Structure 1
Amino acid sequence: MADINCAALVYIEDDRLLLVKVRELEKYYLPGGKIEVDEEPIDAAIRETYEELNVVLDKSLVRYLGRVEGPAYPQDAVVSLECFTYDGKLSDVSKNNEITEVRYFDLRHHEQIAPAVLVLIEQLNTGELSYAK
């Protein structure tokens, strides 16, 4: 059972995954965050995307991708990520709140990516999760 339950946006453009970095942390992770009490995961993903990237997602274009569990970063815990994709185009992405960097990563670039995101990438590569726009 996961210690931390989060909702996250998985957005891939030109075979590159959108990731964010917080403050002094070294690793990048998916835009998203903790699901609040009585909040639906899809609503958490939309809220967190707005809070972190200043992007308003059209709920009708948000699609459930699947759940990924992996090591939380930087905590010593397990995180469960309820992952969503977006069938629209993300435009005017900008960092907000605690976000210090927004960057697209090649799916084969692993050194700076948080462990749970590596689990997601592995599941995408093996076909366990299917990302299609």
Structure 2
Amino acid sequence: MSLIDKIAWLEIKNGRILSTRSKDRAKYYIPGGKREAGETDLETLCREIKEELDVDLIKSTVSFKGVFQAQADNHAEGVQVKMTCYAGAYNGEIKAAGEIEEVVWLSYQDRGKVSPVDMLIFDWLHEQGLLV
């Protein structure tokens, strides 16, 4: 089994979660990305969110939320993605940047529009009463 290590930012407002769609993709993904050599989770998260959404996470507010693992979207069977999730406040105005084409706020009813690992996160957030 091959494993893709990703870090993600869970931003929830009014029972909806911030999600993004990259150029040339049909599905939505929770913002974040892969670690670069030598980066900590926090460094990866801050860099990826700045690149994708043009906002700065406030490092002192970032907190661990959970780890989720599932089949990686658009990869061969058996390739898994491990998503380590954090939440935290930010400065700036969220907007699509870099490879991101669209920024949306999704509800639990939108679960079918996301990747398998994001579906697990949607389920967990829904069970917690955070995603409507």
Secondary structure at the counterpart of residue 8 of structure 1? strand
Mapped to 2, the partners of 1:51 and 1:93 lie a distance apart of 11
Which ranges in structure 2 are unaligned for 5 or more consecutive residues?
none
Matched-pair identity in %: 27
AA at the equivalent of 1:110:
R
Alignment partner, residue 66 of structure 1? 66
TM-score (norm 2): 0.88
Structure 1 residue 91: Cα displacement: 4.5
Matches within 5 A, 1:1-133: 3-76=3-76, 77-86=79-88, 88=89, 91-127=92-128
Comparing 14-23 with 101-110, which one deviates more in the overlay? Answer: 101-110
Comparing 73-82 with 8-17, which one deviates more in the overlay? Answer: 73-82
The number of equivalent residue pairs is 128
Which ranges in structure 1 are unaligned for 5 or more consecutive residues?
none
Tell me how large the CA RMSD over aligned residues is.
1.8
TM-score (norm 1): 0.87
Which deviations, in whole Å up to 9, do the C-alpha atoms of 1:65-90 show, x marking residues without a partner? 1111112122232100110011x256
Cα distance change on mapping 1:2 and 1:13 into 2, 3 Å: farther
AA at the equivalent of 1:106:
S
